[in-house]
Structure 1
Amino acid sequence: MRRRDRAEPRLPVDLSVRDLDLRELMDDPDCDPRALDRTFRRFAVVNALVSGWRTVWRTHVMPALPVDGRARVLDLGCGGGDLARALVRWAASDGFEVEVVGVDPDPRAIAAANRSRTRGVVFHEQSSDDLVAAGERFDVVVSNHVLHHLDDAARSTFLADSARLAASRVVHSDIRRSRNAYRSYALASPLVAAGTFVRVDGLRSIRRSFTVDELRRALPAGWVAEAAVPHRVLAVRDR
């Protein structure tokens, strides 16, 4: 891969609008498989630092689980599976017996996810419409860093499918685009990015992501857009 493909502009970058022309390196089916595998593994570190999911578990997921403490949770677009594994750990520590199903249509992601086995977590190469067609049902449906990848049509289908699959609540978490988010990630990401797509793809993700107002306008009726920390936006739907 040519060096200029790994470069990413420094500030000032136009963050006033979503840059939908950008494509993340890991979305290329011909990207370096070793760098991709390292990227999936490194996500566990990156997401633990910046995704804010421990708080989202407590404020949005746990309150929506059945009162008997037993639940099925679906992680759509699970990537390397770090969120799915974390949800099972957090659930156990809070007294819940949760099975998490992680699905992703990319076989490379599922191969990476299945390299680490965790009790209570299963991974499948599937999409949301596959699950709808199979009549699947989950107490809570979640995703992390999926919405900014989708065009309008794909996002509409993804949201509709996740609403059908959830018996209680849907929580889709993504990056909230801002100059502070871009600057902070540009400064910190080199510490964990060596040999991966983490830095370039992360910065491109920020430039493709939504502000709260943009996401609110993009969501159909029945959905709510919320700001979360750090630099996060949530799309939430309750039945």
Structure 2
Amino acid sequence: MDKKVLIVEDENSIRGFLRINFQRNDFIVIEASSAEEGLRKAILEKPHIAVLDVMLPGMDGFSLCKNLRGRFPEMGIIMLTARNQDMDKIMGLEQGADDYLVKPFNPLELMLRVKAIIRRIEGKLISADEEIIHRYDFKLNLYSQKLYKNEKEICVTPKEYLLFKLFIENPGKAFTRDELLNIVWGYDFFGDPKIVDVNIRRLRTKIEENPSAPKYIETVWGTGYRWNDEKEG
């Protein structure tokens, strides 16, 4: 089915960031900067997923969530907030939200949660084969989030898993360090950018026969890193 997502967020930069990530995952994106506008567009467009900011001008995200849930029982709803308060989470879920993420959030984590909701909406499970990505001797299980090489599990951290997933889903694409930082750590990450290089180095020690001369995750000098697609096949 054509997947539609409604993004209700009053901050232009965050809304644009979400739009780009959803479009990369083949969603039709509908945008609104207020709850009132979001409700009108939801009635007209009938999106499958709604991503709602809690703090909105006028009607807040909780009220919009309750309204949408009453009108669209099968719609997937994810709440976004800058506040990490348990009461906010409870309130969002009580108003009918399916899930809840605190800013700054990881865009890949958001997509995994959205994917789970889409499966529910479609009323069927994706087959096991579709949940597994194969590259060379590697197998990545998207359901269990486990990585295997020659059928032997490789223990990776959550960030290493996300890096590996990003590379093998985009073979041959060169990612800058800033792109990797924004996608894997989130656009609001304020730590040392060298964390990208540190995690790449650790991942190479786990997947490469010779980490000092990597053949899978290549360094693109002056840019960043890419997955070597020339070895495919």
TM value normalised by structure 1: 0.28
Structure number with bigger Rg: 2
Which structure ranks higher in relative contact order (CA pairs < 8 Å, sequence separation ≥ 6)?
1
TM value normalised by structure 2: 0.29
